[in-house]
Structure 1
Amino acid sequence: MQVDGKSGKKLILHIGCEKTGSTSIQKFFRINRPLLEKAGFYYPTVLGLENHTKLAIYASNADNKLRQFIKEKDREIYRDLDSLLKEEIERTSANTVVMSNEWLHSRLQATNEFSKLKLLLSSIFESIQVHMYIRKQDDVACSLYSTAMKSGQSFPFPIPYGKPYYYNYNSIFDNWSKAFGMANVFVHIYEKGCLEHGDVVHDFCKVIGLEDLSHFTMPTLENTAFTDEGLKVIREFNKSNQGMPENLRKLKMAELSEKFKGSNSLLDKHKDELAGFVEKYAEDNQLLANKLGRAKLFEDST
């Protein structure tokens, strides 16, 4: 431990964004935790065994809806999270620590939330890199809908109203840049042609300096997209089984998800409305592209 209290270690902080393969990244680091530590990369457990949800909840304000996820038995953990995390980091010989949680993208918005997070992390790590993957807004909206159906919802496909922060990558980038410095925030495009081997796990590992994955176990990829018929069947199933016990609902949903996995025509069916939605972010997308030195933010943008 260094005199100033810092570990001398480097932190790679993966913040999502949501719907860009975060679960696959988190599963890779969980199932390979011992091997990764030997390779010099440590994935903490005190923040969550797979998804580091406690990090976002810790930084959130009292009025943030994330607070609803604090279980009574875990209140002591949140109170002592700074010391518990420091102790865990001190125990590893790995020089690089990786943390991952997509709520950091969507749920932290207030300046003091970013300040609280920075205060915690900068007290432990010598250097901090923030990494975020972004995906074209209409693709995200369609993916979110499939996820909603899988979780038990039954509403028709909604065109996002207004201009939510959730999709405003320029504002998200600016918030993280203000807190951690623009030079320390890295944006990656979640498009098959932009990803190493067309895969987000391979891409993220290459980004952090872990290129040879031959000795590691790759996670099973989860396809949350459903065919058009599948969306209709699952929506009706959800409507008709509101009172079904959650464990049974999940079992049935797993069967339906496997049976109806595939692509759908949501983008085509709602092409004009979604184009109007994406247009709301055209200026912000270009501003971010300029900051990143790109001609345009997404490869399939016109």
Structure 2
Amino acid sequence: MSNKPKLIIHVGPGKTGSSVIQEWLSSNRKLLLDEGYLYPKHKVDKNGISSGNFRSIFSEDKNGRFIFDVDKASSLIEHAERDGVEYILLSSEAFINLVKPLAEYFEDVHFIFYLRNPIESSESLYNQSVKRHFNTLLITTPKVVSFNKLLKLHELTKSFAHRLSLRFYGDNFFSGGNIVQDFLETIGLRRITVTNAKVINGSYSFEALEFKRLLNQFPLIELHQELDIFLQQYQGDISSFSVYSEEQFEEYKGKATVALENMFSLLGLENSSFQKVVEEQTQRERFSQVLSEPAASKILQSMYEYSPSLFSQVRNIVSSKYLSFLDFSPLNDQMFDYIARPISPMKRSLSTLMRKLVKPEVSYSLTGSPTRENIASLMQALRVKRHMDEGKFLRELALYFEAEGDILQAFKYMNRAKFFRPQGELINRKLCEYADVINTINIKQFE
């Protein structure tokens, strides 16, 4: 019997929580190593998304094709043997398309495949194509419901005496209530408890999805990377939705039910509970794939507050005379002009008050506890309009100091603004920005 480390390969596939699993594994490599599992390091982007550690055993040839790299595989095994681990753990959705060389080369492989309700999966894959792959088309139902990749993997594992774990994707099926716990138990790590799995690659709201589809007409990669980050955090009014028509939904549901029954029969499995979920699936609220003018305006307003630079880039694209052949409606120049209109009289008044506040002869300060009483006294002394609350006053005061180049004072007042608006998106983002700046300078110069 071989003493070589056993290989565990999570193959996804797409839209079954792979990013969540990979983020947890990547963040807990030391814990896994202590438990006897080597999980090779891989890159994770600012959204927490990665392609996993596919490149640990695959390389790209001169034509851009990925080929199994025997040298890498051998080196990985040697690394695992030096560390004295029992398992090598790999995770990547890319593996599902190249499983044969893995089954042929390694002696003992445990493949893990997550099966998602095909109705949910089809819409999720479409949404992903809009988010990441510049899709501009309206949704259509796939012509067939295919489980060929799973069936091929099943045959390979039988031929080479490997093991295949078929796990069902969904809160009702996850052991332990979340996909990370389910995955850990599947690979034998029941000792580790994960109560909450971090959300990675979160879904867009309906409004964000349609906004992105509109901007996909001009696929400038740098712009869309920043736009994606913004739209992922944007809180639209519609978070649960379906863009299938009623006819499309019912048609695809019928296909999926029959295909699942055939697939389970070929695998020699029975899972009436999973099939029942698909058969009884009801459609979420349907929305036509049209971005309304109010929704577009709301997104642009939020974008302007989030990043004026991103707002300007989008504005330049939509307003460009060279791109007049593209239809970006309902986005138009008037909408951009209105959102980026000059500062209101109320804000101009506040800026005047701020300038007065920082003059040497004015002794008002916010030292001590930021209670409503002492903030209110300051606002009264400066004759701030009654309809401006304490949190907004302090936020604008911090932004003034930022504009004046006094980041430490800006941090001070933004920190007090958070006392009154703890969930304020702009407040929390600015606090992080200020902290980064302050960390790079000598604090003593401000004392």
Query: 1: distance between equivalents of 2:185 and 2:43?
Result: 24
Look up the SS of the partner of 2:85 in the other structure.
coil
Q: Retained in 2: the 8 A contact 1:44–1:88?
A: no
Matched residue, 1:286:
261
CA shift, 1:44, in A, is 2.6
Q: Which of residues 204, 208, 227 in structure 1 aligns to 2:183?
A: 204
Specify whether residues 52 and 223 from structure 1 end up closer, same or farther in structure 2 by C-alpha distance, changes over 3 A only. closer
**Are positions 1:220 and 2:225 aligned together?**
no
What's the secondary structure of 2:216's corresponding residue?
A: helix
Q: Distance in 1 between matches of 2:258 and 2:204?
A: 32
Provide the C-alpha distance between the structure 2 equivalents of 1:202 and 1:252, rounded to a whole number of angstroms: 32
CA contact (8 A) 2:53 2:91 kept: yes
Contact map agreement 1:192 1:198 (CA 8 A) in 2: yes
Note closer, same or farther for the CA distance 1:206–1:27 as it changes in structure 2 (3 Å cut).
same
Q: TM-score, normalised by structure 2?
A: 0.53
Per the TM alignment, residue 38 of structure 1 is displaced from its structure 2 partner at its CA by 0.4
1:265 partnered with 2:241: yes
**What's the secondary structure of 1:131's corresponding residue?**
strand
- Please, which of 93, 106, 112 is the counterpart of residue 121 of structure 1? 106
CA contact (8 A) 1:288 1:297 kept: no
Which residue identity lines up with residue 19 of structure 1 in the other structure?
Answer: K
Paired residue total: 269
The answer to whether the 8 A contact 1:195-1:203 is kept is yes
Mapped to 2, the partners of 1:18 and 1:99 lie a distance apart of 16
Q: 1:99 to 1:69 in 2, by over 3 A?
A: same
Label 1:299 to 1:226 Cα distance change in 2 as closer, same or farther (>3 A). farther
Q: How many Å separate the matches in 2 of 1:144 and 1:247?
A: 23
SS in 1 for 2:172: helix
Contact 1:289 1:297 in 2 (8 A): no
Q: Could you tell me how far apart the structure 2 residues matched to 1:249 and 1:46 are? A: 23
8 A contact 2:119–2:278 mirrored in 1: no
Distance 1:217 1:264, change over 3 A: closer
C-alpha contact 1:143 1:224 (8 A) present in aligned 2 = no
Letter in 1 for 2:170: E
How is 1:36-51 mapped onto 2 (pairs within 5 angstroms)?
A: 36-45=32-41, 51=52
SS in 1 for 2:272: coil
Q: Distance in 2 between matches of 1:44 and 1:265?
A: 38
The percent identity for this pair of structures is: 20
CA displacement, residues 147-167 of structure 1 (integer Å, 9 cap, x when unaligned): 22222514233324432xxx5
- Report how far residue 31 of structure 1 moved: 1.1
What is aligned with 1:150?
A: 131
Unaligned 5+ segments in structure 1 are none
**Distance in 2 (alpha carbons) for counterparts of 1:131 and 1:121:** 15
Structure 2: distance between partners of 1:89 and 1:98: 10
Query: SS at the partner of 1:177?
Result: helix
TM-score (norm: length of structure 1)? 0.75
1:100 aligned residue (62, 68, 91): 91
Task: Decide whether the 8 Å contact of 1:285 with 1:297 is kept in 2.
Answer: no
1:295 equivalent to 2:236? Answer no
The answer as to 2:165 corresponding to 1:194 is no
| Residue 9 (1) aligns with residue 5 (2) | yes
Across the aligned residues of Structure 1 and Structure 2, the Cα RMSD in angstroms comes to 3.3
Partner of 1:300, secondary structure, is helix
**TM superposition shift of 1:94:** 1.7
Distance in 1 between residues matched to 2:196 and 2:75, nearest whole Å: 29
1:120 maps to a residue whose letter is Y
Larger Rg: 2
Q: Supply the AA of the counterpart residue of 2:242.
A: L
Which residue of structure 2 lines up, in the alignment, with residue 250 of structure 1? 225
Shift of 1:258: 0.6
Specify whether residues 218 and 120 from structure 1 end up closer, same or farther in structure 2 by C-alpha distance, changes over 3 A only.
farther
Checking the alignment, whether the CA contact within 8 Å between 2:58 and 2:72 is kept in structure 1 is no
